[in-house]
Structure 1
Amino acid sequence: MAIEETSHDEHAVTRDHWWWRPGWSIGKSFYTWHITFRSASPVRELSDVFAPTLSAVPTMELVSAEGLHITVQGIGFTDVVPRSDVDRIVDATRRNLAELARFTVTIGPPIVDSETIQLPIADPEPLRAVRDRLQTAIAEVWGAANVPDQGSAYRPHLTVSYSTGVAPIEELRGKLEADQFDGYTITDMVSEVSLIELNRDHGRYEWREVTSVALQ
């Protein structure tokens, strides 16, 4: 299996991931539900696994072991969402996830796109079930019409590297294939979902965990 890309243009290039998206600015943080990985997780090894290849690419910044994550469902900016609403959403989330079983995820092989090198989740349905219940919890507090990203496509993935500039996508694919990442996967157990305050001031994602909700 060859390394995939999102563009079929052989001249396609990457761009800087850290441009300021609408609503974001220095000092802004965002409440969001992520799957994060504790120190014993085999996923933490991904930084070391990809480092020999990606450290040689000046426009790709490797994600640190503690920064690896799977985005699941956003809530809103911390200066807009009252903490009382966050607490109510967390309570609703605990009820909605109470009977959802933990599950195994297989991550990979990698895909090159215009801003990242990411590893898709091979079977996304369990993560989509988690997202559906998180959206249900938000709807219980704010109403269904106010759930962020309601109805949008969800393609769960884990990013191992963010682009900081321009590089040929085909060249990146070639490097991954040459180092035999075209069939690379890793497996882990998802046992909880973390609510975090996410910040991107320093050209990387940094966060503080607010709380976590365990699966059964």
Structure 2
Amino acid sequence: MSSRELASLHQRWMTYQNLPELTNHWYWRPGWRADRQFYTWHLTFEHQPDLHHLASHIQSELALAELDLVPINALHLTMQGVGFTDDVSVQDLRRIVAEARQRCAELQPLRLMLGPVDPDEEGIGLLVQPWNQVEQLRAAIREAIGAVWQDVPEAAEDFRPHVTIAYSGTSAPAGPIRDRLTGLRHQPPVEVTVHQATLIALRRENRTYRWTTVATAPLAG
């Protein structure tokens, strides 16, 4: 684990120790509503049995009313937003996909370690390491968007790769969740190999994220 990742994990856990209560993750962000979808690039984990086993094990210890567990087939790593589906033209989207495929073909598949648990006020995630591989892929996707649009959505900085396994579903005391997590922090991480970036149309549905796959950008190899 690099010094950046270790420092982040330690700092976030120390902050969590002093957290009085959870924040409901499901408030509506600007522009979002129930009937609206959002184009975004994600990493998805459909064929990763080791990750699925780890997530299921941790979730079995977190079956509490205050938490909304992420379905195993909805595990994801948020990479880079593009825009709401009613704001992005088909022509622009096709050009962005073409540019992304060209750039991703020059990158090797990502070999990542997921874990240990890394909580905050809105949910419980798994630490992703190393960050630099994910950052390199995200930079390539941002370059692809920048080849089509003058302004790339979302900030380039303050990106922290993570995979959420449970969202905070209400404002509730953090203590009971913290007590459960203390015994789970030493679960060993698992390795995953990511072979593509996935462009999805994302929606919120019954207190979870669901999506339709729009396109993929394979990594070399």
Partners of 1:120 and 1:155 within 8 A in 2? no
Quote how far apart the aligned CAs of 1:7 are: 2.7
Among 122, 127, 131, the residue aligned to 2:129? 122
Structure 1 CA distance, aligned partners of 2:103 and 2:147?
10
Structure 1 CA distance, aligned partners of 2:113 and 2:31?
33
Aligned to 2:196: 192
Partners of 1:28 and 1:78 within 8 A in 2? yes
Partners of 1:53 and 1:175 within 8 A in 2? yes
Aligned to 1:139: 146
Deviations, residues 7-30 of structure 1 (Å, cap 9, x unaligned): 356352102111101110110100
Quote how far apart the aligned CAs of 1:183 are: 4.2
TM-score by length of 1: 0.91
Structure 2 CA distance, aligned partners of 1:52 and 1:137?
40
1:32-111 aligned at under 5 Å gives the runs 32-55=40-63, 57-111=64-118
- Mark the CA change 1:97 to 1:8 in structure 2 (over 3 Å): closer, same or farther: closer
TM-score by length of 2: 0.89
Are positions 1:172 and 2:177 aligned together?
A: yes
Partners of 1:6 and 1:113 within 8 A in 2? no
Q: Report % sequence identity.
A: 32
Deviations, residues 57-100 of structure 1 (Å, cap 9, x unaligned): 11101111100000111100000011111100000001111210
1:14-29 aligned at under 5 Å gives the runs 14-29=22-37
**RMSD (CA atoms):** 2.0
Partners of 1:105 and 1:188 within 8 A in 2? yes
- Ranges in structure 2 where 5+ consecutive residues have no aligned partner: 1-5
- Ranges in structure 1 where 5+ consecutive residues have no aligned partner: none
Partners of 1:45 and 1:65 within 8 A in 2? no
Structure 1 CA distance, aligned partners of 2:51 and 2:40?
20
Counterpart amino acid of 1:34? H
Q: What SS does the aligned partner of 1:7 have?
A: helix
Structure 2 CA distance, aligned partners of 1:11 and 1:92?
43
Structure 1 CA distance, aligned partners of 2:82 and 2:13?
29
Deviations, residues 93-142 of structure 1 (Å, cap 9, x unaligned): 01111210012101111122111101121210000000000000000000
Counterpart amino acid of 1:14? L
